[in-house]
Amino acid sequence: MSFSRPAFALSQHRFGRRPARALSAPAPQSNFGDDLRLFAATFAAGFLFVSILIG
């Protein structure tokens, strides 16, 4: 397996000198309600699983 460019800088003075790229798409916003619903469903499923396993 070979890479198109080396994993290390040939010159320490040029390390990290590439210009920064702008992101084209904005990051999606997190919806707290969806996260809370997912947590509640996971908690309920785990609670039922453990209750059945113990009982």
Q: What would the pLDDT profile of 11-48 be if each residue is shown by its tens digit?
A: 666 666 667 677 677 767 777 888 999 999 999 999 99
Q: Do the beta carbons of residue 15 and residue 9 sit within 8 Å?
A: yes
Q: Please spell the DSSP secondary structure of 21-48, one letter per residue.
A: PPPSSPPPPP-HHHHHHHHHHHHHHHHH
pTM: 0.45
- Sequence letter at residue 32: F
